[in-house]
């Protein structure tokens, strides 16, 4: 897993350019589901996946507290 910070997740989301139909929160929830499924795989290093889930959960908390626009503005490069 190459994403190591909240700003990298936000940048990745923005660069996907999915338009206004997909919210950051929706993207984050989908990413968390994928990472949780990857934890079930046997022969992989689980620490980067756990770190990714922690980062995504941090972003969810920030979105719930401050709103999606604020989070996008905070982490946009």
Residue 1 has pLDDT above 70, yes or no: no
Q: Which residues contact 2 (CB under 8 A, 6 or more apart)?
A: 8
Does residue 69 register a pLDDT over 90? yes
DSSP assignment letter at 40? T
Whole-prediction pTM: 0.88
What phi and psi values does residue 59 have, to the nearest 5 degrees? -65, -40
Measure the CA angle with vertex 55, ends 34 and 11; round to 5°: 85
pLDDT digits (tens, 9 = 90+) for 7-57: 999 999 999 988 888 999 999 999 999 999 998 988 889 999 999 999 999
Q: What is the pLDDT of residue 18?
A: 84
Instruction: Decide if 31 contacts 54 (C-beta within 8 A).
Output: no
Backbone region of residue 17 per phi and psi (left: phi > 0; alpha: psi in -120 to 50; beta: other values)? left
Judge whether residue 77 has pLDDT over 70: no
Per-residue pLDDT, 72: 93
């Amino acid at each position: 897993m190459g994403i190591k910070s909240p700003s990298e997740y936000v940048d990745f989301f923005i660069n996907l350019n999915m338009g206004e139909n997909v919210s950051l929160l929706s993207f984050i929830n989908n990413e968390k589901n994928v990472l949780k499924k990857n934890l079930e795989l046997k022969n992989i290093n689980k620490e980067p996946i756990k770190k990714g889930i922690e980062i995504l959960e941090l972003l969810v908390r920030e979105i719930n507290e401050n709103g999606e626009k604020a989070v996008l503005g905070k982490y946009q490069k």
